[in-house]
């Protein structure tokens, strides 16, 4: 789960790429980078938050009207500057590459790239492997075209052939943006469309058109772009150097976008796969409220408090469904990072009390229902319940808008070890006891899927729910990756 952006413009791209990464910071706080292109590639990347990496002197060096950017949340490789993205390779043409997702058959593909294709890998990043694999396939297809496929239509054919061939080998989630020097900007998505990728354009006063691709459309309005549509599963879009638009769906399988994007990752103002994230979260709260009424018809809390901030929308809808007061009884310090994507358990636990401050008047001597988007490891949930006890809550009910997280995710969410997942090793009653909650209620899987898919011309076959106990996409039991 990272944030990517690509811009093909008629004005310098660096400032807009920076602004876009600020709007995608919630998708990755480990590292960030920008590559722009004019006669050559210009790069700046580093570890940490976007505003801590880029200074005025760096922005001045990022020349060109075309560029890509990335905010990193590591699920493959390690936290070193060499694995910060975007990445680049010189052959063919000069390619810069930014990737959101995860390759599940990475060991086999690493061997393929290094041993069979003799491409050098400088890290253990699956993104670098993917870039080198695509570059090798593109070089082969360019070489087979007439006169090296110099015409942009012939070059686009080579891009499509390389992408199609790559996905006959690669398994996993891939949303990517690329610069091909002297050629243009490309964006593509894996045939299942697991990770999001949105396309927008901006019409200039002189009649020219600028193009943008991003993990979310959260920066479009700010920069003057209009959302056009999502990049389709198995589609590649290429904006050539002269600004012409080319697209082709080179492969299509069942459309199974990640459901956790709607539960947690995406900003509420985003539109992903033609589904409004805010509205889907309202429906999650509505469905959770109805589930509570069926399960505990005679139990009502005095107040409903969200575990801020992703669950605010869900808690508001749930409170309306139950006819109970809604209160922001936990104040969140907005300058503390998202605990779920912090790199280790100790940092997550320490940060909970740094970022959340209970409001005693909303809690003392009341039956309180806490609503959270999900319970993954249980660290944050346990700390919240303990804080409410310390501030005088009489009873504490805990409601999760997401079903129990039961299995590792292999598609770009940092859930690689079942031992880290509380629901994988404890029963429902054991989890309630561990959290210290008087009642624990999880959303049902059916109600969550319904909340996401109820509205919108989305063409989703079924969301990916592998981490919630659903089937893994194109992975049989014996082919699951070995992760620890």
pLDDT along the chain (484 residues), means of 10: 96 98 95 96 96 96 98 67 90 94 95 96 95 96 63 89 97 97 97 97 97 98 98 98 95 94 96 97 98 98 95 98 97 70 55 85 97 94 96 98 95 80 96 98 98 93 95 63 42
CA–CA separation, 136 vs 18, rounded Å? 30
Q: Note if the pTM is more than 0.75.
A: yes
pLDDT the model gives residue 125: 93
Which of 166, 163, 171 minimizes the C-alpha distance to 103?
Answer: 171
pLDDT given for residue 346 in this prediction:
56
Please, what is the angle between helix 152-169 and helix 126-144, to 10°?
A: 130
pLDDT of residue 412: 86
β-pairing, 325-326 vs 303-306, is: parallel
> According to the model, what pLDDT value does residue 482 have?
43
Cis peptide before 104 (omega within 30 of 0): no
- Angle of helix 345-355 relative to helix 379-390, nearest 10 degrees, comes to 30
SS3 58: helix
Give all strands of the β-sheet with 395-400 in edge-to-edge order.
325-326, 303-306, 367-372, 395-400, 439-442
Tokens encoding 253: 């399988």
Residue with tokens 């669950």: 311
- In contact, 1 and 30? CB cutoff 8 Å: no
- Under 8 Å between Cβ of 258 and 195: yes
What is the C-alpha separation between 211 and 199, in angstroms, rounded? 8
SS3 state of residue 152: helix
Nearest Cα neighbor of 171 from 106, 99, 98 is 106
Q: Quick one: tokens of 445? A: 């899987």
User: For position 80, what pLDDT does the model report?
Assistant: 60
Task: Report the distance separating Cα 24 and Cα 323, nearest Å.
Answer: 35
Burial of 176 (0-12, 13-18, 19+ CB in 10 A): buried
Q: What is the set of domains in the chain, with CATH numbers?
A: 3-253 (3.60.20.10), 276-458 (3.40.50.2020)
**Radius of gyration over every alpha carbon of the chain, rounded to an integer in angstroms:** 23
How many other CB atoms are there within 10 angstroms of residue 188's CB atom?
28
Residues 6+ apart with CB under 8 A from 210: 7, 8, 9, 10, 11, 201, 202, 204, 225
Dist CA 484 CA 461 (whole Å): 31
pLDDT of residue 99: 97
251 forms beta bridges with none
CA 461, 109, 91, 50 torsion: positive or negative? positive
Q: Is 31 exposed, middle or buried (0-12, 13-18, 19+ CB in 10 A)?
A: buried
User: 160 an active-site residue?
Assistant: no
Query: How far from each other are the two terminal CA atoms of the chain, in whole angstroms?
Result: 18
Residue 385, phi-psi category: left (phi > 0), alpha (psi -120 to 50), beta (remainder): alpha
């Amino acid at each position: 789960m990272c944030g990517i952006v690509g811009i093909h413009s008629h004005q310098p791209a660096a400032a807009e790429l920076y602004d876009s990464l600020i709007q995608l910071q919630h998708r990755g706080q480990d590292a960030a980078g920008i590559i722009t292109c004019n006669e050559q590639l210009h790069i700046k990347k580093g570890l940490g938050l976007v505003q801590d990496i880029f200074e005025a002197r760096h922005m001045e060096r990022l020349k060109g009207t075309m560029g890509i950017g990335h905010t990193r949340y590591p699920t493959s490789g390690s936290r070193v500057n060499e694995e910060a993205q975007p990445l680049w390779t010189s052959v063919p043409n000069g390619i810069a590459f930014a990737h959101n997702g995860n390759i599940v058959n990475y060991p086999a593909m690493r061997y393929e790239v290094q041993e069979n294709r003799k491409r050098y890998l400088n890290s253990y990043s699956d993104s670098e492997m993917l870039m080198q694999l695509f570059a090798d396939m593109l070089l082969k297809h360019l070489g087979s075209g007439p006169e090296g496929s110099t015409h942009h239509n012939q070059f686009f054919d080579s891009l499509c052939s390389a992408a199609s061939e790559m996905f006959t080998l690669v398994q996993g989630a891939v949303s990517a943006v690329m610069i091909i020097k002297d050629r243009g900007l490309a964006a593509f998505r894996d045939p299942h469309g697991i990770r999001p990728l949105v396309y927008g354009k901006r019409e200039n006063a002189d009649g020219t058109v600028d193009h943008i691709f991003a993990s979310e459309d959260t920066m479009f309005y700010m920069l003057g772009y209009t959302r056009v549509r999502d990049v389709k599963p198995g589609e590649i879009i290429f904006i050539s150097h002269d600004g012409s638009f080319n697209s082709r769906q080179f492969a299509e399988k069942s459309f199974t976008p990640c459901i956790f994007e709607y539960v947690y990752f995406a900003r509420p103002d985003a539109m992903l796969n033609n589904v409004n994230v805010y509205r889907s979260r309202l429906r999650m709260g509505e469905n959770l409220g109805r589930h509570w009424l069926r399960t505990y018809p005679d139990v009502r809390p005095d107040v409903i408090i969200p575990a801020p901030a992703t669950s605010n929308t869900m808690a508001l809808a749930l409170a309306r469904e139950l006819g109970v007061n809604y209160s922001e009884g936990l104040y969140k310090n907005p300058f503390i990072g998202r605990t779920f994507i912090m790199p280790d358990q100790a940092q997550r636990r320490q940060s909970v009390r740094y970022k959340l401050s209970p409001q005693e008047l909303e809690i003392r001597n009341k039956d309180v229902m806490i609503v959270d988007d999900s319970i993954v490891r249980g660290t944050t949930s346990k700390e919240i319940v303990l804080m409410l006890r310390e501030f005088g809550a009489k009873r504490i009910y805990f409601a999760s808008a997401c079903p129990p997280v039961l299995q590792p995710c292999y598609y770009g969410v940092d859930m690689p070890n079942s031992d880290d997942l509380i629901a994988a090793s404890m029963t429902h009653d054991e989890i309630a006891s561990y959290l210290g909650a008087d009642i624990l209620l999880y959303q049902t899987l059916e109600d969550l899927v319904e909340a996401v898919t109820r509205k919108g011309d989305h063409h989703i076959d079924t969301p990916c729910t592998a981490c919630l106990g659903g089937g893994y996409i194109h992975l049989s039991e014996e082919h699951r990756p070995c992760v620890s």
